[in-house]
Amino acid sequence: MAEVIAVVKANAFGHGDVRVAHTAMRTGASGLGVTTYHEAFGLRRAGITAPILTWLISPGDDHEAALAAELDIAVGTLDVLEAIARVCVTTRRTGRIHLHVDCGMNREGARSSELLPLIHRSRALERAGLIRVIGLMGHLPDAGLGPEHNEEGLELFAAAYHQAFVAGLRPAGRIRNGN
């Protein structure tokens, strides 16, 4: 069965993130998605214990608090990966990482030229026990228009998954977010 992550970013698009999160989890979602740590921390403060993936990450964000809150973190740059790894060393926590691939949205995620170094460094950090790459994600630029409008993005995503697999990573989940 496919896993579904309910995206509750931006206060669940104005519908109330906590209320929608509870409804989504009760009706079969396997996790939640938000853009920022701030949004994820709000869900945790409200008692939400479900897995939460967050994907707009900056090197200056509070990675220690994110690891303590057991967030899944989408990483699209080496700078962010290294910042998280440093916190993993000092806190002795293992970071749960999704590699974030730019599938044509051109606003977040690793571009093709940045992807292989990110994959290889992630694999080295995984071998060291600092992180665990649990997934791969990317935003399709025109998801609402259907697959025929996203062929290039789907190909980029498939290539990224293949590169991660060849490098020895075994991400359990693959998330394609169309918003």
Q: What is the DSSP string of 87-138?
A: HHHHHT--EEEEEEEESS-SSSSB-HHHHHHHHHHHHHHHHTTSEEEEEEEE
- Are 78 and 118 spatial neighbours (Cβ–Cβ below 8 Å)? yes
Q: What are 61's two structure tokens?
A: 């964000």
- Tell me: pLDDT of 146 over 60: yes
Could you report the per-residue pLDDT of 42-84, keeping only the tens digit for each? Answer: 999 999 999 999 999 987 899 999 999 999 999 999 999 999 9
User: What's residue 96's pLDDT?
Assistant: 97
- Tell me: pLDDT of 171 over 90: no
- Tell me: pLDDT of 179 over 60: no
Q: What are 78's two structure tokens?
A: 């080496």
Which three-class secondary structure state does DSSP give residue 71? Answer: coil
The answer to which of 14-23, 28-37, 55-64, 160-169 has the lowest mean pLDDT is 55-64
pLDDT band at 14 (very low <50, low <70, confident <90, very high): very high
Instruction: Give the domain ranges of the chain.
Output: 1-54, 59-177
- Mean pLDDT, residues 127-142: 94
- Report in angstroms the alpha-carbon separations of 132 from 61, 127, 135, 170: 19, 9, 9, 9
Q: What is the CATH T-level fold of the domain 59-177, as seen in this structure?
A: TIM Barrel (3.20.20)
DSSP percent split of the chain into helix, strand, coil, nearest 5: 45, 20, 35
pLDDT band at 176 (very low <50, low <70, confident <90, very high): very low
- Strands 5-7 and 131-139 turn out to be unpaired
- Tell me: pLDDT of 120 over 80: yes
Q: Based on the number of CB atoms within 10 Å of its own CB, is 30 exposed (0-12), middle (13-18) or buried (19 or more)?
A: middle
Q: What are 118's two structure tokens?
A: 């990110």
Question: Residue 177 and residue 167: Cα distance in Å, rounded?
Answer: 24
User: What's residue 105's pLDDT?
Assistant: 87
Q: pLDDT exceeding 90 applies to what percent of the chain?
A: 82
- Tell me: pLDDT of 3 over 90: no
- Are 74 and 57 spatial neighbours (Cβ–Cβ below 8 Å)? yes
